[in-house]
A and B are shown apart, each in its own frame.
Chain A
Amino acid sequence: MDVLTVIYLVYGFLALYLLTLYCLIYIQNRKRFFESPPIKKQFSLSMIVPCYNAEDVIGETIQSLLNSDYKGLKKIIVADDCSTDNTYKIAKSFERKYLRKVKVVRTLKNTGRAAGAKNFGAKFAKTDLIGFTDDDSRPKKDAISKMIGFFNNSKTGGVTSRVLVQNRDSFLGKLQSLEYKIIAFTRKILGFVDAIYVTNGPLSIYRKKAFKDVGGFSMTNWTEDIEITWHMVSKGYKINIAIPARVYTVVPSTFKGWFRQRLRWNVGGLQTILTYKKSFLRCGMLGFFILPYFVLSWSLAIFGLLILSYRVIRTIIIRYLSTKMSIEAQTTILTLRDINLAPSILFFFGVLMFILGLTYNLLALFHSKEDELEKEGSHYLLAYMFVYLTVYPIILITSIYKYIKGYNKW
């Protein structure tokens, strides 16, 4: 058996293991998938909306929070990070209209990071719970109330929601919509084994005590929502996800915007891995699953890309040389004989893994249960699996490069 075959088999084994793990957890907990514990205590809640140059969307975000049916929502704090457009003015108009419910605050100077505005806004929260909503996200009316019941458990430090894509008209938007649904499904599955690794920016709520305990959001990490989750898990807090709590967000509609967003996420992910490297195989689920899972995913993706590149380059060189030589020798460049119709066992293994992956994704989409927006066609799922996911290792490698070079863009 050659080295490449061994590597392929190791990949196959790990992929099969994760898929089996997810499926087992799902089967064992499927009846609890859409659970939303009844609210036993009306926790007081402040919702912070960090914003920067969001004049087009901030009004709708504040309005969606005002529409919330959760009675314990005491304050909506809009934390403006010194926007240079009309964001502050628009937010102020809401403050004037809903004087007791909306409060608008402004940082002394632009902090350059979402964490800056979030932490600043959190200083004004005097409630049991603190929630955060990105300035371009719209929680559904019942989203917050579907999350609160999880705080009945005193160990719960944070509860996150299911993010769905608002702008799914474009091809990229549809692919991201599929991705978000699959991510939410996987995150819920991980939640059953206390392995949720991120509380998303569009809508997450934290117990104020836990939030204070971890010192709020990290100002040095580009993905403060991942970092705070790992921090809370490392301190023994439980993180949940409420699948019935839906929040719609605006995703990048251009490839460049999408690439930059993913770059930031991955640089942040890398920062978080390095911050918590000492927790490896320690600190409960963080060290035993979340951290190894992240490191393994990164390593496999990058190594996989390197192998793929090696094989592609090698094939191109051989094809180029043989074409050149064939022309010189005046013989056929390409014949039907060049197509190998005797596939190897690894090919069948790959096909099987693809079918299993497809089944898992279909299961995830089956659980998305949304009716407000148009659903994506099946051909988008194939594009997602073949094209979208293939680009990801390239982002990871670029992220490492950017991290080493000193990434400093928001």
Chain B
Amino acid sequence: MLKSRKHVFWEALLITIVVFFLGLLIGIAYEGSRLDKINEYYVISETSLMDILALNDFMKLSDINCENLIQSNIEFADKIYEEARLLEKYDSSGRITEDLKLAHKKYDLMRTFLWINSINTYEKCGNDFDIIVYLYEFDTRDLTLKATQSVWSKILFDLKQKKGNEIVLIPIAVDSDLASLNSILRNFEIGEYPVVIINNEHVIEELVSVEDIENYLN
């Protein structure tokens, strides 16, 4: 009896394998479409970054208005801040493929570029704006750290809502293993993350309120 009826077990196995792998392929395509969207944003942002860098270089040659440069920096920072939030959302729901992690790293590099450029702009154009860099650990299993980072995100989001175009907010994951970022961070002698660096002077390690951060701003 077992022999005569066991074919149904194999049939079911075959159908399951086909359906399951079809599902997996759909899953890969679904996550791939998100990656395509992020890559599309990245290409546009990369162009904007190049534009800002060109503007910065051009400043060295001529007497360009600082206001334009600051505005470009802020707009670009706002743009990639929004993209970072989208990337974070996709990243937390990405299950099958690991490609988003690379996109994350590319964005961290871009944000590092922006930070360097903002430092230059800040030095040239004085204190008409504030640079707030939020350094966090992207790949952590520590629950306290996760909770702390989630609260920092909320505080900085509230601050951005309040200050709008007056601040350049740059969140960067420190565990992306970027040589440029690591070199910059060595100057600050930071013990543990997350931290917030305001105008490259004040390093805040403990959670503080929006009002407390405002005290450090220009």
| A321 neighbours in B (Cβ, 8 Å) | 143-144, 147-148
Contact indicator A21/B12 (Cβ below 8 Å): yes
| A5 neighbours in B (Cβ, 8 Å) | 95-96
Within residues 79 to 94 of chain B, which ones have a CB less than 8 A from any CB in chain A? 85, 89-90, 92-94
Within residues 82 to 112 of chain B, which ones have a CB less than 8 A from any CB in chain A? 85, 89-90, 92-96, 98
Q: How far is the CA of A235 from the CA of B174 in the complex (A)?
A: 66
| A12 neighbours in B (Cβ, 8 Å) | 20, 23
| A2 neighbours in B (Cβ, 8 Å) | 95
Interface size class of B (residues with CB under 8 A): 35 or more
The listed residue (A13, A329, A340) touching B92 by CB distance below 8 A is: A340
Contact indicator B95/A344 (Cβ below 8 Å): yes
- Comparing B63-71, B128-136, B152-160, B178-186, the segment that makes contact with chain A is B152-160
Contact indicator B8/A25 (Cβ below 8 Å): yes
Q: How far is the CA of A317 from the CA of B147 in the complex (A)?
A: 9
Contact indicator A340/B19 (Cβ below 8 Å): no
Q: How far is the CA of A326 from the CA of B154 in the complex (A)?
A: 8
Task: Mark B1-39 against chain A: 1 for CB-CB distance below 8 A, else 0.
Answer: 110010011011101100110011011001100100000
Q: Does B203 contact A (CB under 8 A)?
A: no
Contact indicator A325/B207 (Cβ below 8 Å): yes
Contact indicator B143/A318 (Cβ below 8 Å): yes
Q: Least Cβ distance of B130 to chain A in Å? A: 19
Q: Does A39 contact B (CB under 8 A)?
A: no
Contact indicator B16/A1 (Cβ below 8 Å): no
Within residues 243 to 293 of chain A, which ones have a CB less than 8 A from any CB in chain B? 284-285, 288-289
- Comparing A69-77, A107-115, A330-338, the segment that makes contact with chain B is A330-338
The listed residue (A13, A24, A238, A330) touching B8 by CB distance below 8 A is: A24
Contact indicator A342/B2 (Cβ below 8 Å): no
Contact indicator B89/A314 (Cβ below 8 Å): no
| B31 neighbours in A (Cβ, 8 Å) | 345
Q: How far is the CA of A343 from the CA of B93 in the complex (A)?
A: 6
Q: How far is the CA of A344 from the CA of B31 in the complex (A)?
A: 8
| A192 neighbours in B (Cβ, 8 Å) | 5
| A90 neighbours in B (Cβ, 8 Å) | none
| B151 neighbours in A (Cβ, 8 Å) | 322, 325-326, 329, 331
Q: Does B127 contact A (CB under 8 A)?
A: no
Q: Does A28 contact B (CB under 8 A)?
A: yes
Q: Does B120 contact A (CB under 8 A)?
A: no
| A21 neighbours in B (Cβ, 8 Å) | 8-9, 12
| B148 neighbours in A (Cβ, 8 Å) | 321-322, 325
- Beyond A17-B12, A322-B151, A330-B209, whether A345 also contacts B96 by CB under 8 A is yes
Q: How far is the CA of A344 from the CA of B5 in the complex (A)?
A: 38
The listed residue (A16, A25, A285, A332) touching B19 by CB distance below 8 A is: A16
Q: How far is the CA of A340 from the CA of B5 in the complex (A)?
A: 47
Q: Does A328 contact B (CB under 8 A)?
A: yes
Contact indicator B154/A331 (Cβ below 8 Å): yes
- Beyond A194-B1, A325-B147, whether A332 also contacts B96 by CB under 8 A is no
Contact indicator B208/A329 (Cβ below 8 Å): yes
Q: Least Cβ distance of A36 to chain B in Å? A: 20
Tally of contact residues, A, Cβ under 8 A: 46
The listed residue (A13, A193, A343) touching B5 by CB distance below 8 A is: A193
What DSSP secondary structure best describes chain A's contact surface? helix
Q: How far is the CA of A341 from the CA of B151 in the complex (A)?
A: 20
- Beyond A21-B9, A24-B11, A288-B2, whether A329 also contacts B146 by CB under 8 A is no
| B155 neighbours in A (Cβ, 8 Å) | 329, 331
Q: Does A389 contact B (CB under 8 A)?
A: no
Q: How far is the CA of A94 from the CA of B68 in the complex (A)?
A: 103
Q: Does B210 contact A (CB under 8 A)?
A: yes
Q: Does B150 contact A (CB under 8 A)?
A: yes
Q: How far is the CA of A119 from the CA of B59 in the complex (A)?
A: 100
Q: Least Cβ distance of A222 to chain B in Å? A: 29
Nearest B-chain residue to A8, judged by Cβ: B95
| B209 neighbours in A (Cβ, 8 Å) | 329-331
Task: Mark A2-38 against chain B: 1 for CB-CB distance below 8 A, else 0.
Answer: 1001000100110011001100110010000000000
Q: How far is the CA of A352 from the CA of B1 in the complex (A)?
A: 34
Q: How far is the CA of A320 from the CA of B65 in the complex (A)?
A: 49
| A322 neighbours in B (Cβ, 8 Å) | 147-148, 150-151
Contact indicator B89/A342 (Cβ below 8 Å): yes
| A358 neighbours in B (Cβ, 8 Å) | none
Q: Least Cβ distance of B24 to chain A in Å? A: 8
Contact indicator B158/A28 (Cβ below 8 Å): no
Contact indicator B8/A193 (Cβ below 8 Å): yes
- Beyond A20-B15, A28-B8, A342-B89, whether A238 also contacts B1 by CB under 8 A is yes
Contact indicator A17/B154 (Cβ below 8 Å): no
Q: How far is the CA of A331 from the CA of B213 in the complex (A)?
A: 12
- In the complex, besides A24-B11, A325-B207, 16 extra interface pairs with C-beta distance below 8 angstroms are A193-B5, A284-B1, A317-B143, A318-B143, A318-B150, A321-B148, A322-B147, A322-B150, A325-B151, A328-B207, A329-B151, A332-B154, A337-B85, A340-B93, A345-B31, A349-B23
Interface residues of A (CB under 8 A from B): 1-2, 5, 9, 12-13, 16-17, 20-21, 24-25, 28, 192-194, 238, 284-285, 288-289, 314, 317-318, 321-322, 325-326, 328-332, 335, 337, 340-349, 352
Task: In the A-B complex, list the 9 residue pairs whose CB atoms are closest, starting with the nearest.
Answer: A321-B147, A345-B27, A344-B93, A21-B12, A322-B147, A330-B209, A17-B16, A325-B151, A20-B12
User: Can you pick out 26 interface pairs between chain A and chain B where the beta carbons lie within 8 Å of each other?
Assistant: A1-B95, A2-B95, A13-B20, A17-B13, A21-B9, A24-B15, A28-B8, A193-B5, A193-B8, A194-B2, A314-B143, A318-B146, A318-B147, A322-B150, A329-B155, A329-B207, A329-B208, A329-B209, A331-B155, A332-B158, A335-B154, A342-B90, A342-B92, A345-B96, A348-B30, A349-B27
